[in-house]
Amino acid sequence: MPYSYTLRIATRFQMSKIAIISQPDQGVLIDVGGCSTLQEATQHLTSTLQISSEFWAGMNVDLNLGALPLNHNEVSQILAIAAEVGIKPHQVFAESEQTRAALHAQNVPLGQGKPMNFSVGPFVCDSSHPHADKTADASACGQENQSVAEACTSESEDASGSEAATTGDVPAEPPAKAAPPPPPAVLYLRQTLRSGQTVSHKGHLVIVGDVNPGAEVVADGDITVWGALRGIAHAGMNGNTQAEIRALRLEPIQIRIAHAIARSPDRPRKSTQQRIGPETARVVNGSIRITANNPD
Amino acid sequence: MSGRVIVITSGKGGVGKTTASANIGVALAQTGVSVAMVDMDIGLRNLDILMGLENRVVYNLVDVIEERCKLRQALVKDKRLPNLCLLPAAQTRDKTAVNADQMKTLCNELKTLFDYVIVDSPAGIESGFQNAVAGAEEAVVITTPEMSAVRDADRIIGLLEARKDEISQYRLVLNRIRPSMVKTNDMMSVDDVLEILSIKLLGVVPEDEGIIVSTNKGEPIAGTDNTRSGLAFRNIARRLRGEDVPLMDLDELNQGWLNKVVKFFNPARA
């Protein structure tokens, strides 16, 4: 592919917050990481990619979404724009865990680590990056968990068990140049989910932070919230009735496990009762029961 | 059966669209007709909270439009009134999730099921508003007696007039009026507002602290309380049904028995 041609495009679109970077042996990297919102990204991407659809045909294209937090639909939106000009990304890089989960849900090959820059060689795995590191850890230990999860009926006490597992001392994945890394079986999120935000994951979900009313967390496995769960949580989405939902403060609007659904009482808890510790919701005889996790 | 689709809109935010929607919906349902309330404020949904139905929402308007569920599955029945339903908005999406044609289809379907369809419009004049009015045949414009709210209401009325073919009538509800301030010339009066907007008046709702309490409780004031604001919304509902109800005398508002005694001895204070 003509190197000079791509360089020209790269300089031409530097203004538009999208960089197109040629990678001598690997093809082309389209970098959307400079955009701060989805709207910005889609706008620039649309205008940038319409150079010529023939230009992209058969080219090995990688996509970098940077730190954009995107949900399922937003990811499809981006991919649809690329597909319009015949681009099916070889791999997609993303720093946001939410985006990675959404990409994984759509079976898009995830790029490992950080995408290359001009100064750095191709596909150097930047292990100093905290997010990249965490995902690698999570995916590595997640493989063990997954096999256990099927038959998991034991009463795991609270989040500490899962947390230890995710942050445990596991050797990082080797820099992936060959096959795309396996999806993380545990998604570990360290943030507060606010109204309107959704996280969906095919595996267990651990959130260190609060889930506010109006936010939704969905997982095939368990959902553990190290904080207050005040929004909607749906565990065992694929029909797994063994899935559990636990939180330090379990005050959800609704919880759903597999096909069971429970809603909060119409009258809120009285203030005298408010000091309630961690609780776990699970399905007993087809309906959702909540039990307290008392340390003593 | 072919019901009436009424959109509640204002242009400016925070003047009481959602509160009015909830109360008009409840008040209409109390008269015995079947009512569906549609929350069009996708991404910033509130109507379910005001109705106290937040914890019963499973599917929403976008799910219906994208055919993930049937319309009947998404309708949430009210806690007290069996003939009142809510079609909640999606919280995790935004205004681009629906378009005007889809709304028209949805409103037409709702029309066959209910006597009244109350559509709660989002603030603004962009796509969210355009979608909300798409399926409507009547409009209720809400404003407060403030210059900015009246200006925005004027803009909205202009936009509604441009849709003359679809929207047969539009009427005004003046919300949060304080008769004591009107009397001291610190607030625009009903007549002042009507002079600017030159539009038919549907009702006047006095300012009421009880609204805040009812909002937090999730019980619209029109259904539970015997306050003046609740009565005002019930009157609005009756007028929507075609009854001729006179406007209530706002001057009586501040006249508790103590005020009446004071007035008796010192008429100049009144």
Averaged pLDDT, B96-125: 95
Residue A153, both tokens: 């009926």
| pLDDT value of position A2 | 41
Residues in B closer than 8 angstroms to A73, CB to CB, are: 93
pLDDT of residue A266: 80
Has residue A220 been placed in a domain? yes
Per-residue pLDDT at B22 exceeds 50 = yes
Closest CA to A229 of A214, A240, A242: A214
Pairwise CA distance, residues B22 & B229, whole Å: 13
Q: Which of A194, A263, A269, A288 to mutate to test the interface with B (most CBs of B within 10 A)?
A: A263
Tell me which of A95 and A204 has the higher pLDDT: A204
Residues spanned by the domain of B95: 4-269
The larger pLDDT score, comparing residue A201 to residue A181, is at A201
Whether pLDDT at B60 is above 70: yes
Q: Which residues of B touch A (CB under 8 A)?
A: 43, 45, 52, 54-58, 79, 91-93, 218
Q: Do A196 and A71 reside in the same domain of the chain?
A: no
Quote the Cα angle for A255-A261-A263, to 5°. Answer: 60
Q: In whole angstroms, what is the distance from residue B172 CA to residue B197 CA?
A: 9
Q: Give domain status of residue A147, yes or no.
A: no
Give the C-alpha separation, B5 to B135, whole Å. 7
**pLDDT tens digits, A158-198:** 333 333 333 334 444 444 445 555 555 889 999 999 998 88
Give the per-residue pLDDT at A180.
Answer: 54
State yes or no: pLDDT of B176 exceeds 50: yes
Closest-CA residue of chain A to B219: A266
Q: Which helix (H) or strand (E) holds B206?
A: strand B201-206
Please report whether residue A53 resides in a domain: yes
A254 has a chain B CB within 8 A of its CB:
yes
Confidence of residue A115 (pLDDT cuts 50, 70, 90): low
According to the model, what pLDDT value does residue A8 have? 40
> If pLDDT is split at 50, 70 and 90, which confidence band does A231 have?
very high
Verify whether the Cβ–Cβ distance A253 to B43 is below 8 Å: no
pLDDT value of position A43 = 78
The DSSP result for A275-290, as a single string, is ----EEEEEETTEEEE
Rounded to the nearest integer, the mean pLDDT of chain B is 91
> Hey, what's the torsion of the CAs at B126, B128, B129, B131, to 10 degrees?
120
* pLDDT > 90? residue B35: yes
Residue A110 tokens, joined = 């995830």
Q: Using the predicted structure, report yes or no on whether residue B58 has a pLDDT greater than 70.
A: yes
The predicted structure's pLDDT at residue B34: 97
Which is higher by pLDDT, A160 or A109?
A: A109
Q: What is the pLDDT of residue A64?
A: 83
- Which of A39, A234, A253 to substitute to test the interface with B, most B CBs within 10 Å? A253
Q: What is the pLDDT of residue B225?
A: 63
Q: What is the ipTM of this complex?
A: 0.78
Cβ–Cβ of A71/B92 closer than 8 Å? yes
Task: Evaluate if residue B228 carries a pLDDT over 90.
Answer: no
**Residue B90 sits in a domain of what CATH number?**
3.40.50.300
Least reliable range by pLDDT among A114-123, A261-270, B165-174, B213-222? A114-123
Separation of alpha carbons A87 and A63, rounded Å: 10
Residue B233 CB: number of other CB atoms within 10 A? 28
Span B53-67, average pLDDT: 94
Is A78 a member of any domain? Answer: yes
Candidate from B43, B55, B79 with C-beta closest to A264: B55
Contact B58 A196 (CB under 8 A): no
Q: Are residues A69 and A174 in the same domain?
A: no
From A79-83, A161-165, B217-221, the region with the lowest mean pLDDT: A161-165
- Higher-pLDDT residue of B263, B219: B219
How many CB pairs below 8 A link A and B? 27
Give me the amino acid identity at B167.
I
Q: Is A143 a domain residue?
A: no
Distance, in Å, from the CA atom of A285 to the CA atom of A282, rounded to the nearest integer, reads: 10
Burial of B238-255, coded b for 16+ CB within 10 Å and e otherwise, reads bbbbeeeeeebebeebee
Does A156 have pLDDT greater than 60?
Answer: no
DSSP count for chain A of H helices, then E strands: 7, 15
Looking at per-residue confidence, does A266 or B14 come out higher? B14
Tokens representing A203 are: 């595996």
How many separate domains does chain B show?
Answer: 1
Measured at the alpha carbon of residue A34, what is the angle toward residues A31 and A39, in degrees to the nearest 5? 95
DSSP letters spanning B132-170: HHHT-SEEEEEE-SSHHHHHHHHHHHHHHHTTTTT--EE
CATH of the domain at A84: 3.30.750
Domain boundary among A90, A105, A120: A105
Using an 8 Å CB-CB cutoff, list chain A residues near B43: 196
Any domain includes A174: yes
- Does residue A84 share a domain with residue A188? no
- Residue B89: pLDDT over 80: yes
> For residue A11, is it within any domain?
yes
Residue B135 pLDDT: 92
Share the mean pLDDT of chain A: 71
- What is d(CA A268, CA B170) in angstroms, rounded to the nearest whole number? 39
Q: Which of B58, B79, B91 sits opposite A214 (nearest CB)?
A: B91
User: Inter-chain contact B43–A254, Cβ cutoff 8 Å?
Assistant: no
By percentage, how much of chain A surpasses pLDDT 70?
A: 59
Closest residue in B to A194 (Cα) is B92
Q: How far is C-alpha B107 from the chain's CA centre?
A: 17
Distance CA A188, CA B26 (A): 44
**Do both A180 and A272 map to the same domain?**
yes
Q: Is residue A122 part of a domain?
A: no
Cβ-in-10-Å burial (0-12, 13-18, 19+) of A27 comes to middle
Name A17's Cβ contacts closer than 8 Å, sequence gap at least 6: A32, A34, A35, A40, A44
Residue span of the structural domain in which A53 resides: 3-105
Say if residue A238 is exposed, middle or buried (CB neighbours under 10 Å; 0-12, 13-18, 19+): exposed
- Of residues B173 and A7, the one with the higher pLDDT is B173
Work out how many domains chain A is built from and give that number.
2
